[in-house]
Structure 1
Amino acid sequence: MIDSALRFVLECEKLKGIERRSRPIGLPRRENSAEHSWSLALLAMTLIPAIDPSLDTLHILKMVILHDIVEIDAGDTFCYGDQGNKAEKEQAAAKRIFGMLHESLASEFISLWEEFEQGATPEAKFANAIDRLLPIMQNHANGGGAWPEHGISIDQVLTRNRNIEAVSPELWQHVTALANEAVAAGWLKPAKTVPNL
């Protein structure tokens, strides 16, 4: 069991080589998926007491640490781009990577990953919400970050991240304020207007 655990951890080192679109605040390089997972864990520990202290913090931490490990095989998919066969690639990656572990641990990790993906439990909803929140914070703090580079609109940001509102209306107010500031600064395209017919 120790041998398989050590092999798994070495395999997961590859997550440090998977680049995302977001950049660490104040740095010109793109962040990697391992850095993203660490930031999510910190964000979870910091926000849970303010949003819902009844949430199982350890359970959420496990989910956010494991949720992107599949990107070792599947790569990072741009959330505003073509999702293609992302689900199939990630499912195959989960089977291979978590399958490196002893059966009991593999089963637990796959279960946690699937729970995050399905987003049905309160802990998974929270984990998904902060997974969406973090890039918004980073892009805003980095003068728009990847938004202007890809021509992203406020409509896209608000539609994609709407699940944050169900977890915390207060957090959602923060998101909409950041998005509106980003439009005013020219980092996000404004909302599309519907012509009067």
Structure 2
Amino acid sequence: MQQVIGFILEIEKLKGVTRKVKPLGLDRYENSAEHSWQLALMAWSLQPYAPQPVAMDRVLRMLLVHDIGEIDTGDTMVFVQGGWAERKQDELQAVRRIFGLLPAELAEEMLAFWQEFEEGTTPEARYANAIDRAMPALLNLNNGGQSWKENGISYERVAGRIRGQIEDGCPALWQYLEPKLAAAKDAGFFGA
């Protein structure tokens, strides 16, 4: 039990990892822990829109662990260009350290879910990745493009970065987002 408690106390640090977008109605940036929680609820709620049946328990586990490495590496905004291979290598090293606090069998299980999410090859991983890509866009669409403007992110960068994964993992979600992004472009929600 002490190993699990040590892990739980270590992942408390995820609450201190700030992201670049603000929660709706708040004047602070969201943290990675609340982001993961929100994604889990979003994925569960949108399950009827998955393009094929997905094992929701697997999706939720992936979403709960997908950002654990940010405890050591910090958050990287989804719209950043370049350097992804290096960042992902650093995250892998971080999750191995953090999951290594757990008993070996549980550590291996969590690492496997993290890797499945990163590889994005299973229906569950593709769906989970679609949800992860959509949430920052949804927040920006509902807060006047706050992080897009603050960070000089263009419409083309946003659409180019999220379209493929959302279309692949949850086409109905992309069909929902695409016209909203176009309207946001016309409304001046983007930077650069």
Kept in 2: contact 1:183–1:189 (CA 8 A):
no
- Write the letter of the residue equivalent to 2:152: G
Instruction: Report what 1:167 is aligned to.
Output: 169
Match of 2:28? 29
Specify the code of the residue in structure 2 equivalent to 1:188: F
Q: Which secondary structure state, in structure 1, belongs to the residue aligned with residue 46 of structure 2? A: helix
Q: Could you say if the C-alpha distance between residues 83 and 15 of structure 1 is closer, same or farther in structure 2, counting changes exceeding 3 Å?
A: farther
Q: Give, in whole Å, the separation in 2 of the partners of 1:34 and 1:72.
A: 10
Greater Cα radius of gyration, structure 1 or 2 = 1
Q: Which has the higher contact order (CA 8 A, sep 6+)?
A: 2
Q: Which residue of 1 aligns with 2:76?
A: 77
Structure 1 ranges of 4+ moved more than 4 A:
none
Q: Is the 8 A contact 1:24 1:31 kept in 2?
A: yes
Normalising by structure 1, what TM-score? Answer: 0.91
| Structure 1 residue 53, shift from structure 2 partner | 6.5
Q: Root-mean-square deviation (CA), in Å?
A: 1.4
C-alpha separation in 1, matches of 2:150 and 2:191: 11
The residue matched to 1:161 in structure 2 has which SS? helix
Residue equivalent to 1:128: 129
The TM-score, its normalising length taken from structure 2, stands at 0.94
Contact 2:40–2:63 (CA<8 Å) still a contact in 1? yes
The letter of the residue matching 1:177 is: P
Q: Aligned AA for 2:185?
A: V
Instruction: Determine the structure 2 residue equivalent to 1:93.
Output: 94
Aligned length: 189
Match of 2:144 in 1: 143
Alignment of 1:15 onto 2:14: yes
Cα distance, 1:50 vs structure 2: 3.0
Q: Paired residue for 2:112? A: 111
Over the matched positions of the two proteins, sequence identity in percent amounts to 46
Unaligned runs of 5+ in 1: 191-197
